[in-house]
Amino acid sequence: MNLDPALRSRIAALLTQNRIVLFMKGTRHAPRCGFSAGTAGILNGLLEDYLSIDVLADPEIREGIKAYGNWPTIPQLYVDGELIGGADIVAGMANSGELHALFGLPRPDRTPPTITITDAAAEAMRAGLADSGGAALHLSIDARFQAQFFLREAEGHEIRATANGIDILMDVATAQRARGIVIDWVDTVQGSGLSISNPNAPPAVQSLDVHGLKARLDRGDITVIDVRPAPDRALAPFAAAQVLDEDTVARLSALPKDQPLAFLCHHGNSSRSAAEHFRGLGFRQVFNVDGGIDAWSRQIDTSIPRY
């Protein structure tokens, strides 16, 4: 692809004006593909600030950056104007400590985490490993504390944690998030499987009724985020709330992680998904408003129209 000189200059200006630039799908706080999410999660864990460019919002940049660095895929990380690489390279550099050195940060702690594996879980793991063909058991815990086990050959750079006779391999970021976890085997109505209790994960989303919300608003100790579409907000406005939309998601995501957040929608259903998203970003006091604006208009402020 021949890169238009004006577009080349535009990309070069972004790289000159910003030391660290990630071209990705979505933004650092709201990624829109798994590879971009993984790369942004690594950078978010190391850096307070860097520039993320959403290529989905700019088709010219999406195609142009591929030609600029002769790199065919997204995401792409640039540091000091130089292409570092894509998702796999960034992950490998983070695991080896090269990325930390590049950013002038201390090398990562590679101390294996202390974990607990119950007898029931260990028995199930041994049964699975018996049929693995020699593959090792890996654990990945992403920035949202979502855990995944998988079987793969060991590459040699992993951190190895051992408990109850079971070896589990993990990358550096997972090792930090896995300290103190308890792995158990559980039987539920959905089936049987491994479960992880992780003391490092943000607390679960809490329910908050409208009377509790009013009390906290009166004290001024909570931020309300309205996730309803614009027509609904116009029909029944909630003046005390901030709006969650494409223009505000980055700003709201960057709030201090100890800031109490309450999510509001029509009846309290769609707001729970938004609340879970912000919990995944690391917010530790996240609430979902039970009954939503409908309950507020019935129980607190009858001047707000019901719809």
Query: What order of strands is seen across the sheet that includes strand 159-163?
Result: 147-152, 136-141, 166-170, 159-163
* Cα–Cα dist 257/239, whole Å: 23
Please tell me which residue in 173, 181, 265, 274 is annotated as part of the active site: 265
Q: What single-letter DSSP state applies at residue 43?
A: H
Task: Give me the phi and psi of 120, to 5 degrees please.
Answer: -65, -40
Strand partners, 194: 185
C-alpha distances (whole Å) from 97 to each of 32, 52, 90 are 27, 22, 10
Radius of gyration of the chain (CA): 23
Task: Give me the phi and psi of 214, to 5 degrees please.
Answer: -60, -40
Q: Do residues 53 and 21 lie in contact, with contact meaning Cβ atoms separated by under 8 Å?
A: yes
CB atoms within 10 A of CB 61: 20
Owner of token pair 């190391």: 46
Confirm whether 265 is a catalytic residue: yes
* Cα–Cα dist 268/272, whole Å: 7
Q: List, as one string, the DSSP characters of 81-142.
A: TEEEE-HHHHHHHHHHTHHHHHTT-PPPP-PPPP-EE-HHHHHHHHHHHHTSTTPEEEEEE-
Catalytic positions: 265
